[in-house]
Amino acid sequence: MEAAVAAFPELAVGRSVIRLVRGDITELEVDAFVFYAQPDLALGSGFGGAIGVRGGASIQKELKELAAEGPVPTGEVVVSEGGKLRADYILHAVGPRFKEADTEAKLGKTMRNCLARAEERGIKSLAFPLMGAGYYGIPNEVSARVMLETLATHLVGDTGIAEVLICVFDTPQFNAVEAALAARS
């Protein structure tokens, strides 16, 4: 990992490890990272803007082609190439928004679909943001709990994924994931 990303707590699950890191997910050297996407696959601002700028026009072109098939339903995941980014792939996950009916179940489904797409592509290292937290309003603690439950269930099985990073940018998100990891240790 590069100097711009700091590593913190981790949890061994089966033959895999879940690590909490603080930094910019678009700068990680991983096989793939997850972007919490909009149904129309527009990158928007924030990390979406960073993907578009750092990753290059090829990502935006690929997303336009994928979006032409219609909006991506909640819980589903589409995969694009990583363009000029260090990651080979970006998993664009359309997850629930806070206070949507069955938010936790939909978030779990979104996570399972991310893991399935990663397995299909032989991804060994995968980074997630704190899914649905921040802009989409899912409370940090809820997101952290659902993510770790889903990851732990998947990683104890037959998986090719060796490393999962949960990459956060701010202290409240870090604290929520750290507490959820400690509760599982």
Is residue 27 assigned to a domain?
yes
Q: List 78's β-bridge partners, or say none.
A: 92
Among the ranges given (2-16, 33-47, 89-103), the one the predictor scored with the smallest mean pLDDT: 2-16
Give domain status of residue 1, yes or no.
no
DSSP 162: -
Confirm if 176 and 31 have CB atoms less than 8 A apart.
no
Averaged pLDDT, 106-129: 98
Task: Map tokens 């990583």 to a residue.
Answer: 82
Is residue 102 situated within a structural domain? Answer: yes
**Which of 47-51, 67-71, 162-166 comes out lowest in average pLDDT?**
47-51
pLDDT of residue 79: 97
1: pLDDT strictly greater than 50: no
Judged by DSSP in three states, 9 sits in strand
In CATH, what number is assigned to the domain containing residue 170?
Answer: 3.40.220.10
Q: What percent of the chain has pLDDT over 70?
A: 96
Distances, alpha carbon 153 to alpha carbons 42, 44, 100, in Å: 31, 32, 24
Domain that holds residue 125: 6-184
DSSP letter at 147 equals: H
- Give the residue among 72, 150, 140, 143 at the shortest CA–CA distance from 111: 150
What's the pTM? 0.93
Taking CA atoms, 88 is separated from 55, 121, 124, 153, in Å, by 10, 10, 11, 25
Express each pLDDT in 52-97 by its tens digit. 899 999 999 999 999 999 999 999 999 999 999 999 999 999 999 8
User: Worst-scoring range by mean pLDDT, 34-38, 42-46, 91-95, 105-109?
Assistant: 42-46
Residue located via tokens 């240790």: 185
Overall number of domains in the chain: 1
139-154: pLDDT as tens digits: 999 999 999 999 999 9
Q: How far apart are CA 86 and CA 71, in angstroms?
A: 27
| pLDDT higher than 80, residue 161 | yes
Give the model's pLDDT for residue 7: 57
